[in-house]
Amino acid sequence: MGLKGTLDVDSLKQLPVLRTLSFMNNNFEGPLPELKKLGALKSVYLSNNHFSGVIAKDAFAGMLSLKKLYLAQNAFTGAIPASLTTLPKLMELRLEDNQFGGQIPNFQQKELQVFNVSNNALEGSIPAGLSNFNANSFAGINGLCGKPLKACDPSTPVSPGPSSTSTTSSKRPSILTIVVVAIVGLVALLALIGAICILCRRNREPLSLEAPLPSNLQRKAGIKESNKLPQGSHENSGNNKKSENMKLSFVRDDREKFDLQDLLKASAEILGSGSFGSSYKAALMNGQTMVVKRFKQMNNVGREEFQEHMRRLGRLRHPNLLPLVSYYYRKEEKLLVSDYVERGSLAVHLHGHQGLGLPSLDWPTRLKVIKGVTKGLAYLYKELPSLIAPHGHLKSSNVLVNESYEPLLTDYGLIPVVNQESAQELMVAYKSPEYLQQGRITKKTDVWGLGILILEILTGKFPANFLQHGKGSEEDLAIWVSSVVGQEVTNEVFDNEMATTKNNEGELRKLLTIGLACCEGDVEKRLDMKEAIQRIEEVKERDGDEDFTSCVSEAEIKSSGVLSDEFSYS
C-alpha cells in the first residue's frame, strides 16, 4: 500500500490477542520496531521495506511464541541478533537481501524449516544445525563455508555461540577464538565453583522463592510461597519429609519435567477466573506452555488421598481428555498443571468468536465436538467407575478444542477432592434437577450436563448460570432448558450462525431431540450415558448419508473400547 513512516509498537500493545503482524512491501523506515513488546506474536512479516541499522542482540528475547520472522529486503546491518537462536518455536526465518555481517549464530532449533540469509555480508562457517538447508539459503555470500557450501579452510572460525558479533577477517578470529574459549573456560570454572558453594549452602539453608522476577507467575497470581521449597531437582533427594511434600508432583512419565520454580518464574498471563480461582498461562523457558489452575477449596480429603486421586487422574489417557501433567499440594491451595491449548475453549468459539475475529463453528464441527465430548465422557465412566459423576463439571468452558477442533475435556473427576460446600455451590453436577430437587447426584448427572452442552452448541445460547459462575442461578438454567424443551422444534431454535442447509435439517433435529432427552428432569426417564452415546453416534452430518459415517464411528467406538461389553453404568 506504499505506507511509510515508523511503526508505533506501543499502540499495538493494546491488542493483546494480536498474533500476526504484516507490513510487507511498504516503505517503512528506521530501526526494527521493538517487537518484543508484543511478546505473544507468532508471525512477523516486515520484508521489503526500508528498515535499517543494527538490530540489538536481545531484540527477540522472550518471544517464545514466534514461529515466522520475515525481515528480508531491508537494509539491516551488524550481526544477526543472537536472541533468534533462543526462540524455541522458530520455524521460518528470512533475512535475505540485507547487509548483515559477522558469523551466523548457532541456530539449533529443530523446528526450523525455512532459513534464508542469502545476499548478506556474512562470513565464517555455517553452523552444523543449518547444514541441511539448500545452498540457495546462503547464496551470494563469498565469506561463508561449510556444508552445504564448500568445505572450510582449517583456519576458518567455527560458528560462534549465540552472542558472537564478530566481523573480523578469517585469520584473526582464530586467535580471538582461543581467547574467547579461554575466557569461557574460566567463567565456566568460576560458575562451577560458585554452584558447588551454593549447593553446600543449600543443604543447610533451603532456597526461598521469595524473589520473583518481573512479570512472573508468582507475582501475577500472588501464589504464596512462604514455605521453603526443595531444591531445583523435582526428585528430591533429601529425607526431609516436609520438603518432599512441597514439590511439584508429576503424574505422567512421558513428560519433560520442570520445577515449581520454573513455573513461578515463567512469564504469565491470566486466562480467566473461574468459580474456583484463576487459571494462568505460563510460558516456560524450555518452550513448554502450561496452564496453572489454582484451587483454594480443595481440602475434602487428606494429603495421601488427594495424591492418590491425582495419580488416578494422571493415568487416564484418551484423545478427548486434556491430561493432567502435574500438581502442587499445599494445605491452603492446590495448583493443577496441564498443557495450554492454543485454540481455547468451546465457550469462546460459540459465544466470543465475533469479538476475536474467529469464524463461527459450522455444523460438521459442532457435531464432531459433541461426538468427541461423548467419547471422552464414556471413557471417564469406564475408568472412574467409583465416581457417581465422573466428570462432574461439564460445561463449555471446560471443553477445549485442539488444532483440528477435536474436543478435550478438562476439570474432570474433581468432585471427590473439592470441599463439599464449594462443590455444591460451584460445580455443574450440583446444578442438576435431581440435586436441586432431591439433593442427590446420580450416574445420570453427567448426562444432564451433556444435554445442556448439546443444547448450547445447537442453539448458540449461553446458559445463564455459566455467565454468573453458577452462583444463585439454578433457576435460570432450569427455565432456559425447559423453555427450549417447550418449544416446537423449528429451525429458529438453531444457531443461525451454523449455516445449516436442508440436507442436514433432519440430523440437527435428531440431535436436538437427544439433547432434550438428556435434559429430562425425571432421572428415571432420562437417557443413560450408554443410550446417549449410541444415539449420538447414529447422528450423521447430512440426511441420507450412506451408512459409511456411522460404520466408521462404530468402528472408532469399538476400538476405543467405549461400547465394549463391560461398559455398564448400573
Ligand X SMILES: Nc1ncnc2c1ncn2[C@@H]1O[C@H](COP(=O)(O)OP(=O)(O)OP(=O)(O)O)[C@@H](O)[C@H]1O
Nearer to ligand X, 345 or 374 (CB): 345
Nearer to ligand X, 103 or 338 (CB): 338
* Cβ 498 vs Cβ 460: under 8 Å: yes
Q: How far is the CB of 349 from ligand X (least distance, A)?
A: 10
Reading phi first (left if > 0) and then psi (alpha if -120 to 50, else beta), residue 189 is in alpha
Q: How far is the CB of 263 from ligand X (least distance, A)?
A: 14
Q: What is the DSSP letter of 345?
A: B
Residues that bind ligand X (CB under 6 A): 271-272, 274-276, 278-279, 291, 293, 322, 338, 340-341, 344-345, 393, 397-398, 400, 410-411
Nearer to ligand X, 7 or 441 (CB): 441
Q: How far is the CB of 482 from ligand X (least distance, A)?
A: 23
Q: In the sheet where 289-295 sits, what is the strand order?
A: 248-250, 324-329, 334-339, 289-295, 278-283, 267-273
Q: In the sheet where 68-70 sits, what is the strand order?
A: 20-22, 43-45, 68-70, 92-94, 114-116
In whole angstroms, give the CA distance from residue 191 to residue 198.
Answer: 10
DSSP assignment string, 431-496: GSHHHHHHS---TTHHHHHHHHHHHHHHH----HHHHTTTSS-HHHHHHHHHHHHHS---GGGS-G
In whole angstroms, give the CA distance from residue 96 to residue 85.
Answer: 17
Q: How far is the CB of 532 from ligand X (least distance, A)?
A: 22
32: cell is 526494527
Q: How far is the CB of 523 from ligand X (least distance, A)?
A: 23
Nearer to ligand X, 291 or 511 (CB): 291
- Of the chain, the end-to-end C-alpha distance in Å amounts to 67
Q: How far is the CB of 115 from ligand X (least distance, A)?
A: 31
Nearer to ligand X, 68 or 293 (CB): 293
Nearer to ligand X, 347 or 523 (CB): 347
> Residue number with the shortest CB distance to ligand X?
274
Q: How far is the CB of 397 from ligand X (least distance, A)?
A: 4
Within a 13 Å sphere around the CA of 332, how many CA atoms are in the beta-carbon half?
5
Nearer to ligand X, 65 or 398 (CB): 398
Q: What is the DSSP letter of 103?
A: P
84: cell is 533468534
Within a 13 Å sphere around the CA of 327, how many CA atoms are in the beta-carbon half?
25
Nearer to ligand X, 116 or 275 (CB): 275
Query: Strand ranges (DSSP E) for 286-411?
Result: 289-295, 324-329, 334-339, 399-401, 407-409
